[in-house]
Chains A and B, each alone.
Chain A
Amino acid sequence: MKCGNEILPERIESIRYSQCSGDGSGIKCESESVSGAVSQRACVYCGARVVLNPITDAFHIVHGPIGCASYTWDIRGSLSSGDEGYRNSYSTDLRETDVIFGGEKKLTAAIDEVMARHSPRVIFIYATCIVGVIGDDIDAICRNAEEKYQIRVIPVKSPGFSGTKKTGYKMACNAIMNLITPSILPEKTADVNILGDFNLAGEMWIIKNYLRKIGISVAANITGDARVDDLKNAPAAKLNLVQCAGSMTYLAKQMEETFAIPFIKISFFGVTDTSDSLLRIAYATGDKNVIERAKAFIEEEKNRVIPLLDKYRKNLVGKKAAIYVGGGFKAISLIRQFNEFGMKTVMVGTQTGSKEDYELIQHLVDEDAVILDDANPAELEAFMTEMGADILVGGVKERPLAYKLGIAFCDHNHERKHPLSGYEGTLNFASEINLSMNSPVWEIISQGGMKYV
């Protein structure tokens, strides 16, 4: 593909490609999307919603027209070990008259109607695009409701246009701080909090189980399988483990400042990252017993998992992978994981990666690999075809695109069906990409697609 044919001129600086890589000052990212692009990105509200929704015993009321609630209703695959209330969809369903006369009364009534049926301890109120425009004072409504019911009613200001999905993460982090900040800082009674695991397909449970085995106590999961009481316990932890760095570094920094809890960034994707992370966590406790147990556990798991992985390896080695995911940190973990499998990453893109993420990505992949920020389907198509990718790892919108191109696919987003983190997750991941790449249907397709053979 020649530079410029399929790429918008405005997009050139967001792509690193041997023939057109801007002025060499690094990739352009963390900026707004180009108007008219078929972006794969979402909005501020989406960012806030995905972070907060896994708080399972809170009520989440979406203040806006019905769509915003419909599209986010129980689609994340974020599992709960207890409450299921968060899997329902609550909305003020704003109508034309509300837009004209304001939606404040309706929001107040909606809170009353929730309180008439249930006894939640926390309600989150999400302000969507038009709430920002019609000027409902949701702060005042939340304050009044808090007084009336003596519970927490927390506004989440997330009009879709007010930034990117990352802005939404910040709004969610602010809401969490609002919820968990105590009047007096508690004693440090627990070892860690886990930040940025949303318990997709039960991944949080795997990580918590590892930590339990090496003797580390967890105060709060933020926010996968989270409950309000656990969250309020978060300030009592000695260390924060940040997994989804894109969404949670902001919260970690605030917690460091306010509660004096330092943080480390960890990743549980792939054998190498999982093992490294467990060791780093163990060393961070400074407890010799924990370190010993961690070492033994890692050894034991490696011995168990690596021979199993080797069975897949022979099918995977030499294959070419393309990655298009939300955050940079996940992309980095995936590249490392593909390296472990003997696969080569030929294309890497993210929706919201930062400059630092992209610098690290450049070091991890070959010179000729394509790196792109906020890609659109035309670019993904062009580069995957040109680079001869065998598999794409992405989310729901990328799946049919890959399949139509005759490229295998693995969902590493909301629609993952097996946990992909930890040692078990690595096995699942290897099994899934092996299945997808070696499905018998490819045989039929490679013989000529629709043509008779």
Chain B
Amino acid sequence: MLNLTPKEVSKRSALRINPLRTCQPVGAMYAALGVHGCLPHSHGSQGCCSYHRTFLTRHFKDPAIASSSSFTEGASVFGGGANLKTAVRNIFDIYDPEIIAVHTTCLSETIGDDLTGYIQDAKITEGKYVVHTNTPSYVGSHITGYANMISGFIKYLSESTGDKNGKLAVFPGFVNPGDMREMKRIMTLMGIPFTMLPDSSGVMDSPMTGTYEMFPRGGTTVAEIIDLGNCQSALALGEMTSEAPAETLEKKCKVPYQTLPLPIGVESTDAFIMALNHFCKEEVPYALEEERGQLLDIMLDSSQYSHEKTAAIFGDPDTVLGITQFVLEMGMIPKYVVTGTPGSTFDKRVTELFEKYQVEGCVVKSASDLFELHQWIKNDPVDVMIGGTYGKAVARAEDIPLVRAGFPIIDRYVHSYLPIVGYKGAMRLIELILTAIMDRQDRDCADEDFEIVM
């Protein structure tokens, strides 16, 4: 289907082909869904909200509920103040959320809507909240929007009373509910009191109960967000996603933070657990040591199948960085590492990994797209691709196995329920990667090389 991709790479300055990112508002919507009793609200045209809900529903296979200011010609000329006022009234009247989280769109940003002013003027029911963040679609990516929305919650709500609550604030990064559950499991195992913001588990992976809840049980509560200001310290997982909200919390409430990579693979999970250990100062429970040992056992047992296999890794910056680190630990070569999200930190961090593991001929690029990755692969192929669903067109065209990890995955099931973070998550990831590579070997090898024991 991508037979239009020419092999010769030529420079493009204006045309984006087959993007590896989308716009800020959808990230803001996902972040807001990770707050309990929260209705995300899109301040712009109706299509934005509809597209974002569809996009999230396709990935999570769960309802993604959000409202829209439903801009018209009039609003685009006179501003969207009246729309927001009506929206806030209607939303509290009918859907009755605890909090409305407004994010802007390219349209409301371009016409210069003053959200702070609008919200001050809006009639907000006693005991309810309205917060906002600015998410112009022409800056950053969905990752930026996700970070901005988290910062928005903190700016509006978090307070420091002077009494520390003894908790660790955790910003999980742009990950699946399954990943958030795994992070929480690890912290609970270590006996750490924490607040995670956002927490989409129990919302975007809510169970079938036979009744529909518009606001499911999961999500960080407003009270917890307010109390974030009293946390002992904070952990920002994923520099390019979580550092900005951690900084916001530090600025507002003087909560010191530490930034770590997403805990994907051995070393990054070690760093996560050491940081937790530093916080609670108790011995790491044997259960986690055991998991680590099991992971190492698996990596060793299977190393002959992963060693020196080449991979193209694409998707969101922190996720891609984490997976890159892990495949390097497995002895693989991350030949092409790309993200659609702009920002030189990504290039810097990935280059550091290339140097650390002394791999040669590997390429990293931020603000790239799948068309470009496809061209590189056409010129010099890889053994496996690791990323989201849209890579499947390239995988098919070039006959390369695709391991689905990251966002969005809109053509498979279950992925959002299970982690790729932590030692358990690494086991899942290594199983996915090995299965892809070894299934391919089984399919392609000559009859005489076909083996029962591998």
Residues of A that sit less than 8 Å from B by CB: 6-8, 10, 32-46, 61, 64-75, 84-85, 87-96, 98-99, 105-110, 112-114, 116-118, 128-130, 132-134, 159-165, 377-378, 381, 396-397, 399-401, 403-406, 445-446, 448-450
Q: A34 contacts which chain B residues (CB < 8 A)?
A: 70, 86, 90
CB of B54 within 8 A of CB of A71, answer yes
CB of A37 within 8 A of CB of B70, answer yes
- Given A71-B54, A98-B138, A449-B208, check contact A35 B214 (CB 8 Å): no
CB distance from A417 to the nearest CB of B (A): 12
Q: A7 contacts which chain B residues (CB < 8 A)?
A: 94
CB of B76 within 8 A of CB of A132, answer yes
A130-B107, A377-B65 known; 4 new pairs, CB 8 Å cut-off, are A34-B90, A88-B2, A161-B45, A450-B208
CA distance A94 to B136 in the complex (A): 11
CB distance from A411 to the nearest CB of B (A): 12
CB of B139 within 8 A of CB of A91, answer no
Q: A72 contacts which chain B residues (CB < 8 A)?
A: 51
Interface status of B165 (Cβ within 8 A of chain A): no
Q: A92 contacts which chain B residues (CB < 8 A)?
A: 14-16
CA distance A378 to B215 in the complex (A): 11
Q: B64 contacts which chain A residues (CB < 8 A)?
A: 397
**Residue from A36, A40, A110, A130 within 8 A of B15 (CB atoms):** A110
CB of A117 within 8 A of CB of B87, answer no
Q: B51 contacts which chain A residues (CB < 8 A)?
A: 42, 46, 67-68, 71-72
CB distance from B237 to the nearest CB of A (A): 25
Most central of B16, B75, B95, B211 by chain A CB within 10 Å:
B16
Q: Give the size of the chain B interface in residues (CB under 8 angstroms).
A: 84
Q: A449 contacts which chain B residues (CB < 8 A)?
A: 208-211
CA distance A129 to B69 in the complex (A): 14
Which residues, 88 to 127 on B, are CB-close (under 8 Å) to A?
88-91, 93-95, 105-107, 110-111
Q: B94 contacts which chain A residues (CB < 8 A)?
A: 6-8, 36-37, 378
Q: A45 contacts which chain B residues (CB < 8 A)?
A: 47
CB of A35 within 8 A of CB of B87, answer yes
- Given A71-B54, A161-B76, A400-B61, check contact A89 B17 (CB 8 Å): yes
CA distance A162 to B19 in the complex (A): 26
Which residue of A has the minimal Cβ distance to B13? A109
Which residue of A has the minimal Cβ distance to B86? A35
Most central of A92, A160, A378 by chain B CB within 10 Å:
A160
Interface status of B160 (Cβ within 8 A of chain A): no
Stretch at the interface among B4-12, B280-288, B297-305, B432-440: B4-12
- Given A397-B63, A445-B210, check contact A40 B50 (CB 8 Å): yes
Total contacts A-B at CB 8 Å? 261
CB of A66 within 8 A of CB of B57, answer no
Q: A109 contacts which chain B residues (CB < 8 A)?
A: 13-15
Residues of B that sit less than 8 Å from A by CB: 1-4, 6, 10, 12-19, 21-23, 25-26, 39, 41, 44-55, 57-58, 61-73, 75-76, 83-84, 86-91, 93-95, 105-107, 110-111, 136-139, 141, 206-214, 340, 371, 390, 393
Q: B19 contacts which chain A residues (CB < 8 A)?
A: 66, 69-70, 73, 89, 91, 93
CB distance from A16 to the nearest CB of B (A): 19
**Residue from A6, A160, A400 within 8 A of B47 (CB atoms):** A160
**Residue from B2, B49, B95, B139 within 8 A of A378 (CB atoms):** B95
Which residue of A has the minimal Cβ distance to B111? A133
CB distance from B77 to the nearest CB of A (A): 9
CA distance A37 to B49 in the complex (A): 11
Which residue of A has the minimal Cβ distance to B207? A450
Which residue of B has the minimal Cβ distance to A40? B50
Which residue of B has the minimal Cβ distance to A99? B138
CB of A161 within 8 A of CB of B15, answer no
CB of A67 within 8 A of CB of B23, answer yes
Q: A133 contacts which chain B residues (CB < 8 A)?
A: 76, 107, 110-111
CB distance from B238 to the nearest CB of A (A): 21
- Given A161-B71, A396-B58, check contact A67 B214 (CB 8 Å): no
CA distance A7 to B94 in the complex (A): 7
CB distance from A170 to the nearest CB of B (A): 15
